[in-house]
Amino acid sequence: GAVVSQHPSWVICKSGTSVKIECRSLDFQATTMFWYRQFPKQSLMLMATSNEGSKATYEQGVEKDKFLINHASLTLSTLTVTSAHPEDSSFYICSARRGFPNEKLFFGSGTQLSVL
Amino acid sequence: DAKTTQPTSMDCAEGRAANLPCNHSTISGNEYVYWYRQIHSQGPQYIIHGLKNNETNEMASLIITEDRKSSTLILPHATLRDTAVYYCIVRRAGGTSYGKLTFGQGTILTVHP
């Protein structure tokens, strides 16, 4: 079946540094990818929609300058958490949309970010 | 997208069927019922989806009531590895916003030995 690879699985960084998370669709082209954030014991919250070749669409309340999204190819989207702070510590999950004729959504395995 | 209501938690004995209910009384005619699950510290996993007919695959069965206002996900023989949070999501299939899933709190299913 189709696979979405997310890297790294976990990362620890110092406050003020930037962290990049990659999301790759391994065997299909994904014109659209999605980024979610999940705090402990809470549900997933959509952060933004990543469109290949165009600017990402951010959900209300998500700072676009803090969470930089780049979707430069049909198989790769990246999320960069800039100037990370402890409150950015969370589980980040991406998903990729496989288009017609067998449209389906696939999720990555998630990235646990801990900011010290 | 229509809102869903699920019990906060459920328990099930290993080997028995797990029946997870979901209410979606405001579902529209073109909206599907999707089920995903999330095992601790992993990304969500697609289970099954349906429009109005009952559906079955290798993982589960989905029973949708005739008025489509509620549904039940059935795991026929639950195992310990089925312990997870189960999310019932109602939305249109396809379209430009396909993939923008609104996750509720889901049901925490705990399978006991």
Tell if the CB–CB gap between B87 and A105 is shorter than 8 Å: no
pLDDT reported for residue A2: 64
Rounded to the nearest angstrom, the minimum Cα separation between A108 and chain B is 6
The span from the CA of B5 to the CA of B2, in Å, is 10
HSE value, Cβ hemisphere, 13 Å, CA-based, for B29: 0
pLDDT of the residue at B1: 66
Q: Where are the alpha helices (DSSP H) in B3-73?
A: none
B9-13 vs B107-112, strand pairing mode: parallel
Residue B37, CA distances (Å) to A61, B45, B59 in order:
26, 5, 11
* Residue A30 CB burial class (10 angstroms; 0-12, 13-18, ≥19): buried
Q: What is the pLDDT of residues A91-109, one digit of tens each?
A: 999 999 887 777 788 999 9
Size of interface A-B (CB pairs under 8 A): 53
Segment 69-98 of chain A within 8 Å of chain B by CB: 91, 93-95, 97
> Which residues in chain B (61-90) have CB-CB distances under 8 A to chain A?
87
Query: Tell me, what's the pLDDT at B95?
Result: 64
- Gap between the Cα atoms of B12 and A54, Å rounded: 46
Instruction: Look at A43 and B106 and tell me if their CB atoms are within 8 Å.
Output: yes
pLDDT at position A51 over 70: yes
Report CA A42 to chain centroid distance, whole Å.
17
Six-digit token pair at A40?
């402990």
Return the residue of A nearest to B108 by Cα.
A41
pLDDT tens per residue across span A3-43: 999 999 999 999 999 999 999 999 899 989 999 999 998 99
**The two three-digit tokens of residue A30, written as one number:** 């994904």
Q: What is the pLDDT along chain B (113 residues), one digit of tens a residue?
A: 668 999 999 999 999 999 999 999 999 888 899 999 999 889 999 999 999 989 999 999 999 999 999 999 999 999 999 999 999 999 876 666 667 788 889 999 999 99
**Structure confidence at residue A103 (pLDDT):** 76
Residues in B touching A32 (Cβ below 8 Å) = 99
pLDDT of residue B102: 86
Check A49 against B87: CB less than 8 A apart.
no
